[in-house]
Structure 1
Amino acid sequence: MASIAELGERGALERFLPHLTQSENVLVGPGDDAAVLRSGGELVVTTDTMFEGADFRHDWSTFADLGTKAVTTNLTDIAAMGATPTGLVIALGVPGRIDVRNLEEFAKAADRTLQKLAPGAGVVGGDLSTSERTVISVTAFGDMRGRSPVLRSGARADDRIVVAGELGMSGAGLALLSAGEHPVDELRRRHPQRIEAHVAPLAPVHLGSALADAGATSMLDVSDGLVLDAGRIARASGVELRFDRAALEAFDADLEHVLYGGEDHALLATLPQEATLPDGVLVIGEVRESEAGVTLDGEPVQERGWDPFRR
């Protein structure tokens, strides 16, 4: 067993990098001052940072969990634009006392997640530094591959509202963890899907481009809660997003978690009535020409969800 401080940056990276699969889009990968990616069209870029304490807890999440979550949260942002992910850079700040095997587990999980959700993409670079608490910052790249980007502002009256992925499971998992009534290992055994949905989420990234090809008029990644994120589409498009209560109650979580739980990383989109829906997509409502906002069976709902500054 060796700590990162004992190995130093070079030694730690020598343990980290071999676990990563090279992106098929890379011309120059890890090892130089910057990566060079092959790009055939419009470049799509997103970034997300997770802070220990604010965004995750080490007593709930392993480094493998964090590797999965860091990758998924960025890939879904790329997918929500209708783009195809091409690569990631990962910056890690960790305490020097951390066992280097945790870095290896992070790298292996990040790579597994990439190969599962975005085959052909890979980690092309990043940074490793010391920090009092763990900080994980990921920047993801994508290519539109000839498509037009799908924005939040294109929803039109009579469009169907659809979702690809789960709703409410992450919120349900967080509620179980936050209650503190049982050890985390016991919760993982008793509620594996709910706990994993929160600490190590996966998402149907491939359906982002499929929805774009099907004619999606708007789309985003549900990270802050269904109602809060739907409100962003409603305001950007100047329409009402009317959800069907029965459709939302069909998800395997309480309606409260479905509406407000957050961190689902499902893809919420609107499409014309005549569009052919990709497999794995569910209709959960309809766009109406009305005052911008979100309703449930036509009744207004409070727009709340995850806000890091209002916890």
Structure 2
Amino acid sequence: MSSTDPDAGRTVADIGEFAVIERAVAGRPQPDTTLLGPGDDAAVVRAPDGRVVVSSDMLVQGRHFRFDWSKPEQVGRKAVAQNGADIVSMGAWPTAFLVSLGCPPDTPVALTDALTDGIWAEAQALGAGVVGGDTVQSEQVVLSITVLGDLGGADAVLRSGARPGDLVAVAGRLGWSAAGLAVLLVGSVDFPELVGAHQVPVPPYVAGPAAARAGATAMTDVSDGLVADLGHMCTASGVGIDLDSSLLEPATELRAAAAALDVDARHWVLTGGEDHALAATFPTEAVLPEGWRRIGEVRAGAGVTVDGQSWTGAGGWQSFS
């Protein structure tokens, strides 16, 4: 915020709820899918397909982010990215976001401005609008985001379509966010690329619709960890999945950080969440789209194994543990 801004140094209590909202939406361009944006009792969003894919998620200060680790703009981008990943994992594309913000009265206006800058930046990168939301007083900063998506005439790709014989593939990075968190937890200033991956995930957005067009039989966003999220797919589909560890070799950056922290980088790859990679199953004869790589196969049975053996390490993120 410029030092000439009359609200520099002021809090949300100083300027009031409607001024906070006005600052969040004023002058922001909307895509063609937004027929009526913020300012009325509700927004109107075009739904060309006739169906709307909907998902929502929350980020709570101290649970999902810390402002001593992440800039407010990064938190805003992260909030949109994790919701956008949910939509593309269905084979759809995000069209509109609704954002609800809770914060204490003494929250600086500069912080809420930066949050909304990040939210708009990530949404606009997707060609989506920010069409409404709400504000409320809370004990810490809370972001709740609902995202709408369009299937473009295709069928949604569910978790429940995997069948024995399908191959398992992944698009995007695995373990980077978990490694970045581990670096932050020990107070290290090394490995900034991993820390950056934790601060702002980079979902492989275009890979979701591409997988749907290529005939993916099941798909999921990897938000809680590869083993955990594929486990949900196994349960929904009534199958087992075996991962090939030779196809899940940790990236060079992960190996370097793991050596410095004296941990096993494979644990980050298999159980680290918040990278928002995509995992999917495909018929064996399918040609994997660009950006996808095979990591295993679907088998009869239940649950996830690694090289045919039960995974005995941590399974991934759980909200109430």
Q: TM-score range by the shorter chain?
A: over 0.9
- Equivalent pair of 1:20/1:122 in contact (CA under 8 Å): no
1:168 match: 175
Change (3 A) 1:21 1:196: farther
1:294 match: 304
- Equivalent pair of 2:169/2:280 in contact (CA under 8 Å): yes
Of the structure 1 ranges 72-81 and 98-107, higher mean CA displacement relative to structure 2 is found in 98-107
2:115 match: 106
2:245 match: 245
Q: CA deviation at 1:250?
A: 4.2
1:67 match: 76
Once residues 227 and 94 of structure 2 are traced to their aligned partners in structure 1, the CA distance between those partners, rounded to angstroms, is: 26
1:178 match: 185
Tell me, what secondary structure is at the counterpart of 1:249?
A: coil
The one-letter amino acid of 1:69's match is K
- Equivalent pair of 1:20/1:108 in contact (CA under 8 Å): no
Map 1:142-221 onto structure 2 (within 5 A).
Answer: 142-179=149-186, 181-182=187-188, 187=189, 190-221=190-221
Deviations 1:204-225 (A, max 9, x none): 1121111001000000000111
2:104 match: 95
Tell me, what secondary structure is at the counterpart of 1:202?
A: coil
The one-letter amino acid of 1:126's match is G
The one-letter amino acid of 2:274's match is E
The gaps in structure 1 that reach 5 residues or longer are none
The one-letter amino acid of 1:45's match is V
The one-letter amino acid of 2:167's match is R
Tell me, what secondary structure is at the counterpart of 2:160?
A: coil
**TM-score by structure 2 length?**
0.90
1:309 equivalent in alignment to 2:320? yes
The one-letter amino acid of 1:299's match is Q
Once residues 193 and 241 of structure 1 are traced to their aligned partners in structure 2, the CA distance between those partners, rounded to angstroms, is: 31
Deviations 1:157-177 (A, max 9, x none): 121111111000011011111
Deviations 1:88-130 (A, max 9, x none): 00000112212212222112212221233x22x1101111222
2:260 match: none
1:282 equivalent in alignment to 2:290? no
Map 1:47-62 onto structure 2 (within 5 A).
Answer: 47-62=56-71
Give 4+ residue runs of structure 1 displaced > 6 Å after superposition.
none
The one-letter amino acid of 2:11's match is S
Once residues 124 and 206 of structure 2 are traced to their aligned partners in structure 1, the CA distance between those partners, rounded to angstroms, is: 12
Deviations 1:128-187 (A, max 9, x none): 2221211100000001111111111111112111111100001101111122x33xxxx3
**TM-score by structure 1 length?**
0.93
Deviations 1:67-106 (A, max 9, x none): 1110001000011111111100000011221221222211
Deviations 1:213-254 (A, max 9, x none): 100000000011110111111121122211110111143431
Q: CA deviation at 1:19?
A: 6.0
The one-letter amino acid of 2:279's match is L
Once residues 192 and 121 of structure 2 are traced to their aligned partners in structure 1, the CA distance between those partners, rounded to angstroms, is: 19
- Equivalent pair of 1:23/1:123 in contact (CA under 8 Å): no
Tell me the matched-pair count. 300
The one-letter amino acid of 1:161's match is V
Tell me, what secondary structure is at the counterpart of 1:153?
A: helix
Once residues 28 and 104 of structure 2 are traced to their aligned partners in structure 1, the CA distance between those partners, rounded to angstroms, is: 22
- How large is the Cα RMSD of the aligned pairs? 1.4
2:275 match: 264
2:132 match: 125
2:35 match: 27
Once residues 57 and 212 of structure 1 are traced to their aligned partners in structure 2, the CA distance between those partners, rounded to angstroms, is: 35
Change (3 A) 1:65 1:99: same
Of the structure 1 ranges 90-99 and 6-15, higher mean CA displacement relative to structure 2 is found in 6-15
The one-letter amino acid of 1:95's match is P
- Equivalent pair of 1:29/1:125 in contact (CA under 8 Å): yes
- Equivalent pair of 2:73/2:118 in contact (CA under 8 Å): yes
What percentage of aligned pairs have identical amino acids? 46
- Equivalent pair of 2:231/2:304 in contact (CA under 8 Å): yes
Question: Which among 79, 83, 87 is matched to residue 78 of structure 1?
Answer: 87
- Equivalent pair of 2:163/2:237 in contact (CA under 8 Å): yes
The one-letter amino acid of 1:240's match is G
Once residues 36 and 67 of structure 2 are traced to their aligned partners in structure 1, the CA distance between those partners, rounded to angstroms, is: 34
The one-letter amino acid of 1:256's match is H
The one-letter amino acid of 1:28's match is L
- Equivalent pair of 2:97/2:123 in contact (CA under 8 Å): no
- Equivalent pair of 1:19/1:111 in contact (CA under 8 Å): no
Tell me, what secondary structure is at the counterpart of 2:248?
A: helix
